Amino acid sequence: MDSIPDPSNQRALRGSSRSPRSPGSASQSQKKVGKKGSQNSGLQEEKKKGRMNRSRGEEEMIEQLGHLDLRSSPVGVGTGLVFTEKCKEYSCLWDASHPECPDRLTAVMEKVEQYGLLSRCARAEERAATEEELLLVHSPEYVAQMRPTQHMGQEELQSLSDTFDSIYIHPESFRCACLAAGSVLQLVDAVMTAQLRNGFSIARPPGHHAQRDQMNGYCMFNNLAIAARYAKQRYHLTRILIVDWDVHHGQGLQYIFEDDPSVLVFSVHRYEDGRFWPHLQESDSTAVGKGKGEGFNINLPWNQPGMNDADYISAFQQLLLPVAYEFRPQLVLVAAGFDSVVGDPKGEMSATPACFAHLTHMLQLLAEGRLILSLEGGYNLRSTAEGVCACLKMLLGDPCPRLESPFSPCQSALDSISKTVAAHCKHWKCLQVLEQGQETGSCDLNPGPAVESDAVLDRSMREVMRGLPPARTGLVYDERMKEHHNMWDSHHPELPQRISRIFSRHEELGLVSRCQRIPARHASEEELALCHGTEHISRMKSTEGMKPRDLHRQSEEYNSIFISPQSYQSALLAAGASFNAAEAILTDKVRNAVAIVRPPGHHAERDSACGFCFFNTVALTARYAQRLSGRELRVLILDWDVHHGNGTQHIFEDDPSVLYVSLHRYDNGLFFPSSEDAGSDRAGRGRGLGYNVNIPWNASKMGNPEYIAAFQRVVMPIAYQFDPELVLVSAGFDAARGDPLGGCHVTPECYGHMTHMLQALAGGRVLIVLEGGYNLSSISESMSVCTSVLLGDSPPDLGQLTPPHPSAVQSLHSVLRTHRSHWSALRLAVPESVSSSLSTPSQKGQRTKAKKSPRQEVTPQKRSPGEDTHPLTPEGAATPDNSPSVSPAAVVTVADDSVDQITAGLQSVALGNSPENQTNQSPASVAVGGARRKVKPASPEGGGKGQRKRSGGGESSKGTPSTPGKTEVVELKESAGKMESTEPPSLPAVAGDEKETLLELASGWSTPLKSQSICEVFYKTQGMEEGTMFAVEPLPWCLHLETVNPLPAAGLDVFGPCRDCGSEAENWVCLVCYQVHCGRYVNQHMMEHRQSSAHMLVLSFSDLSVWCYGCEAYIHHQVLHDAKNAAHRIKFGENMPGLH
């Protein structure tokens, strides 16, 4: 086989141009169920319309997600191992004690057999690399010089060896070097043709020091360099990652690929400011590559010996993985030297074998698991052998071992990482997320004291070789939990079908048969009392015998709760099922588990039900696990539900034995549960200070880039340092793309990646418990991917990640500022000098043109079509064909304002869809479980429908937001005092707009008078007389202009009907997808199209004006001239005057 298809083309799970969210369904983005009589029949009617639209979106979502087939992956299964005794047939003829000796392979293979790993591997036949393959990297003259060494005598061999640095040559060296190179090629073939998933080549001599035309550092041919060139040539790969963790810098790899942007080389090595071999200035972090390859060589030099597990893992977590996600390799090759393992006489490092298991586990996130390790250095026989076995267990799919405590990177390591980040900031957008100029705080300046290596190896290998449970993944599910239902609203989003659809999808994909079924049970009242008060338990229990009228009255006493006669028993089953799953994990019956349960639990407070939740299932499970263990078991609760788990936070906020981390929409306190307690500054209290970590998003449409960045920068560094013994996931999937409540864009693949990362913790003891998620297709696919990853399948390809939303970056910075004092792993920052070097003076608001590497490889954008590329990202616009580049980033340059100032200013501004447009805050937001009320109830004297007041004077709803369909002139007569008042007035309603107001209430769409459009941030000098503003005055620029696509080949049909209703009156055309829909005074289909697709710019066929929904303004800009002129020519037979 000469080639294989690009795997990125085989996974087509991406959104269509329409998001399932529609104006009606968006009305449910708050979990607050309205009080009796609080909504009139008109609003209810509009909500029903929305549900119908949501059904249409549901069908599209099913079609989109149908492409994700977990049963037919192009990635192979099994782990290949190549070893040949022939590679032991050479040694140094003049120095019997030379460290690079045959005993290295003997020790490795003995350990592999001793631990029972050899029988679990697929043995691949060794072969020698051909001369043609050697010439992919090495010069013909060099190969010709090496071949005759097979027939030389000792004196001649020694003489030739002395011409190179750190070399000895034996008559068998040439043959063994060809076998070592060929062994890696065997694995490349097996992995790329899906015969195997991954592999390990155990051969010698090593190769990473070998250069094009000379031997160096025990190396004759550069095994991995040959493999990379071979993979590029035979399988047409365009992105290969080489990771070199050998303690010595692999300068040969650097020299060979330093001008090649298709191969990213990352090396972490001992350097000591050039005092450590190979004593090269090029080994420092400032060597970033040359010419076309600038930015594709990353050196992380350690400037002290004794670096430990925390140092290496921090380097991978904070530097390598973000860059690798941006690079998107199709194959990962590892120069696996184990001279950095504790006990090695050359390396003098303190990393344990377990550490290299974790590094291998991290690399399995990339290239859909296509990973090949090749033995390089390692000169303590036991350390090398244990390191190989630890990595091999990860390749075989065994759980990650626990690491040595305490886990804290030293200051020298943080300094080295920071310097490397600074050297590469301008090349990689992901590194620009780090905050600049912050104090790193105080860590230990030096690595820990020297330790007895055998004792460390003994402890580490006991954990690495910990016995495996008989089953890998447990699954608990019980149909009886479907009996909890809403008797008054059959369309309520917390449907019984949520769990049955998830379970059915698991069955369809063959996941249920691969899992160990765990029986469900009812939790006892004594167990409920672990987290809840007896009065609350009794009150919930009393609902079993209530009549419907009493149940409805009881429901109304809580925030967003419905109760049926079966609710109490269902909630007991949800808790008891999770208890059984946790017990199965802790008693080593299964490694990990999933609990498909309802009702959800994370909003439930100690003494109150809240947000669809009766009892806090995950909090109870944490306490149950601690009671089962008989001690304060360290538990990590990771909550990725789109809503903040207020109940979980309050239950554990003073408890240092439970680390609670929540990623959620916050919208500055306006998103459910509408409490300031969900802010990033709430870090716990008392003994629990620092053990509550909130990562709040202040805008909608957060997706894969934001969640992956949060995991890499915050979640995993803190979690590693906390060192949990059990991981519980409050797995709400309402941040998934298509969810009617969340308004976010996380894909099933991203949930798979987050699950894989969490498996590195607690020895792999992870329990995923269902919380929210209200698009039945999204939750079914998302939870299925999580289960698949728990079962050992490779995480699916994520696609190209765009830079995180500026608002998300600001949120991450806020979290880091809050928690740096508590967690030393977060004390990483880019020097302030780098910030100024990333920008050059330019007109305020203008972006520099995106730069491209001269030989960049352009790959298709795999972000959902409904998911906009966020404006003001470091690389601004994409490449001309809308395909982001894998090459290092160009940078936005804005004079006079720092990045932080701009993101702060944009926080409350429309970015695609403004947070206000997506929040859908209830008019009367009820305080949740003791949390401080953030949103005040609407005043009875507040005026018309839809008005609401925010604490601090944030917003009042307009009666008539300016939208396409009618030219309006609106006069706003306000005094300066009124403009500064805390309760700004609403715009007067236009006659006949009552229906539109109802629709806006149902969809949660409102426009704050006081907030500015994004265009106004950049154009403060528009001519507006005080007290009067004309809504028809167009803005000369807006950020959404970059979304405008070229005219379709068929041109425009200005007389075409609305594609939804067939109307030919007052139609508009979308300038992104060129669909035609009617305006707001016909059937509002263009408004609905905007809500569902997030396309902002539309052209009126009536007056040829262009409206931007995101900026809520008319726009006049040269980018729009082609569309306007084309429409004008069709209508009037001539070009539009005055365009130029």
> Per DSSP, what are the bridge partners of residue 731?
770
- CA distance linking residue 962 with residue 952, whole number of Å: 25
Give, in order, the Cα–Cα distances in Å from 558 to each of 78, 551, 904: 52, 11, 35
- Tell me, yes or no, if 822 is annotated catalytic: no
Contact 382, 343 (CB under 8 A): yes
> Per DSSP, what are the bridge partners of residue 467?
none
> Per DSSP, what are the bridge partners of residue 986?
none
SS3 30: coil
Contact 630, 623 (CB under 8 A): no
Give, in order, the Cα–Cα distances in Å from 790 to each of 82, 398, 419, 1000: 28, 11, 36, 42
Contact 772, 734 (CB under 8 A): yes
- CA distance linking residue 397 with residue 400, whole number of Å: 9
Catalytically annotated residue among 603, 1077, 1089, 1095: 603
The dihedral through the CA atoms of 344, 347, 348, 349 has a sign that is: negative
| Closest C-alpha among 1012, 1013, 1034, 1014 to residue 1023 | 1034
In eight-state DSSP terms, residue 135 is T
- CA distance linking residue 471 with residue 459, whole number of Å: 25
- The values of phi and psi at residue 795, to 5°, are -60, 135
Burial of 654 (C-beta count, 10 Å sphere; 0-12/13-18/19+): middle
Catalytically annotated residue among 208, 209, 745, 1095: 209
SS3 281: helix
- CA distance linking residue 86 with residue 182, whole number of Å: 13
* Close Cβ partners of 565 (under 8 Å, ≥ 6 residues apart): 543, 544, 545, 546, 551
> Per DSSP, what are the bridge partners of residue 1077?
1068
- Tokens describing residue 603: 């909003």
- Tell me, yes or no, if 1128 is annotated catalytic: no
Q: What is the 3-state secondary structure (H, E, C) of 160-221?
A: HHCCCECCCCCCCHHHHHHHHHHHHHHHHHHHHCCCCCEEEEECCCCCCCCECCECECCECC
Strands 471-477 and 240-244: unpaired
Helix 381-395 crosses helix 353-363 at what angle (to 10 degrees)?
Answer: 30
- Chain centroid to CA 425: how far? 20
Residue linked to tokens 């080549």: 201
Which residues are identified as catalytic? 209, 603
